[in-house]
Each structure stands twice: as C-alpha cells, then as structure tokens.
Amino acid sequence: MKAPPPQSALIKAMMRSFRWTMWLSRRQAWLAVMAALSVTTVADWLTGPTVSMTIGYLFVDCLAAWTLRERAGIGVVLFTVALSSLVNGFGYIPAVDLTGLSTTVAIWNTLTRASSAMMIVLLVATLRHSIDVERWRASTDYLTRSLNGGAFRSKIERVARMARRRGATLLLLYMDLDGFKAVNDRHGHAAGDEVLRRFADEARARMRADDLFARLGGDEFCAFLAIESEAVPEQVAESLHARLSDALRATGYAVTCSMGAVVIDAGSAADTERLIRLADEAMLEVKRNGKNAIRIAFDAPAELRRAA
C-alpha cells in the first residue's frame, strides 16, 4: 500500500469527536461513563417502557469498553442490562404485560440484547487495543523500550505543564555513551545492544512514571524530569549520572557516560529544540574535556559550569 486509504468526512468527524477520550485518566473515564449512564437512566425512566433507550445504553457500554477496556466494558454491559430491566420491568411486570410476552421469551430477549452488546463491546475494546499497540510502536524505541525522539519532543509540553501546576523545576538531560562504538567493533552488536538495554533499564528505574526518557538514536539518550521544590536539580542530575555510570561498569565493558544537564524554569520550557541543543552543547563540552562527567547549564549557554 503506497498511501493510507482515504477517510470520509464522517470518519474524520468521528475521529475529531472522540480524540479527547484517548487521553482520559481511569478516574476521568469512570466519571464520563457514570455521567452518560445517569443521563440515559433518567431518560429511560421518564419515557417509560414504550420508548426504547437501547442506543443510550449501548453508547455507555461502548464508552466503557473504549476508555476502560474489555473487562470494564463487559461489566458495564451486565449492569446496564440489569438496570434497564429494573427501570422498564421484567418477568410478569409491565414490560411483559404490555407486550404479552412470556417470561421465557422475555429472558431470551434480555440475553440476546446482552450478548449483542457484549459482541459490540468486544469489537470496540479490540479496536482500542490495536490502536494502543500501534501508538506504542510508533512512539517507542524497540531495542530499549524507551521513547523515540519524536515521542519525546511531543510529550515535553505535557510534563512542563504539570511542573508549572506543581511549582516544580525542570531538568533536561542529554547523555552519550563514551566508548560504545569500540564495544560494537570488538564484541559485536549483540554486546552493544545489551549495553544500551542495561543503560536504559537503569535510567527508567530511577525515574517516576511522569518523567520522560528517550533514545534519540545510536548511543544518545535524553531525559526530561520535573524536580519538586524540596529537591536540588543539580544533585538529582549528579546522582543519576553516578547511578548510570555504575550500571555501565556492571556490564564489564569500557563504556562511560557523558552527560549535559539543563536546569529550566517551568514557565520557559516552550522552545523544545533550543533546550535540547543547550543540553547537547553541555554534553559536547564534557566530551571535549575528558568525557565521563556531567556539565550543568542554567538555560543559557554562557552559564555552563562543571559539576562539583
């Protein structure tokens, strides 16, 4: 396939309408599902059993499957079927009396509705899972399971926004592995891959879920951290460099880490490329002065200084 298939106007409108649901937290998703369910239930109660609100309940089921995945979706299906039966009547009460159906037929119809809703929910959950997998593949470096450069840049503003709300300071790190090429040349690419994986695993283990860590390419990595007010950014950078250096020594290969760090005010983190260049310049300064060290900048190239 040379190009993606064309999208109809309806599909484009649906994608724009539901894009916001991709970013809901679990709590926000549950609130959205419960709000939609409340509206549907009230409408069902007001209109009575003569007006079907199946489409409303099905929307709730699909919203749960899309935002909360298949288990929650199936659970919501069972709950909405029971709730609909409670509101409209079941067995020998109004729902059956109005239609003249037997209890057996009423049970069969209820099971049929539930099964149909479950099949739709499973299709929606499968679609969401497929989309999530493709998004992960598009944003992740396969070898190290870290973010790739494009995903790293796209997520920086989100971390900066969270840091501004918390009054935190930002720390951008640019890392390059010294001697990595020699490992590939002397011991093979499998050894080099193992070094990269060990380095990335140690880096991620020292960061929180909201921090960003990416492999930009080759043996170059970048990290973006929000530092709370009680912590000193320079000390955080130095501690991380020491931990990563220990991890590299543990591989048994002569590989070290040159690191450039930039301390950033959360309010001035809009120019992503300038900040990455600044961290890169700090790292290159380390390379020019012996490698295996860290150099810290304070959001201006002229203020580079060697860490104590």
| Least reliable range by pLDDT among 101-115, 174-188, 194-208 | 101-115
Rounded to the nearest 10 degrees, what angle do helices 54-88 and 26-47 cross at?
A: 60
This prediction has a pTM of 0.76
Contact 41, 87 (CB under 8 A): yes
- Residues 44, 141, 176, 219: which is the catalytic one? 219
Q: Answer whether residue 112 shows pLDDT above 60.
A: yes
pLDDT tier at 304, thresholds 50, 70, 90: very low
Q: Answer whether residue 106 shows pLDDT above 80.
A: no
Average pLDDT over residues 132-148: 92
Residue 219 catalytic?
yes
Q: Answer whether residue 306 shows pLDDT above 50.
A: no
Cα dihedral 244→248→251→252 (10° resolution): -140
Homologous superfamily of 142-306 in CATH?
A: Reverse transcriptase/Diguanylate cyclase domain (3.30.70.270)
Cβ neighbours of residue 221 closer than 8 Å, sequence gap 6 or more? 146, 173, 174, 175, 176, 199, 200, 203, 213, 214, 215
Ranges of CATH 3.30.70.270 domains, the chain: 142-306
Q: Answer whether residue 61 shows pLDDT above 80.
A: yes
Q: Answer whether residue 245 shows pLDDT above 80.
A: yes
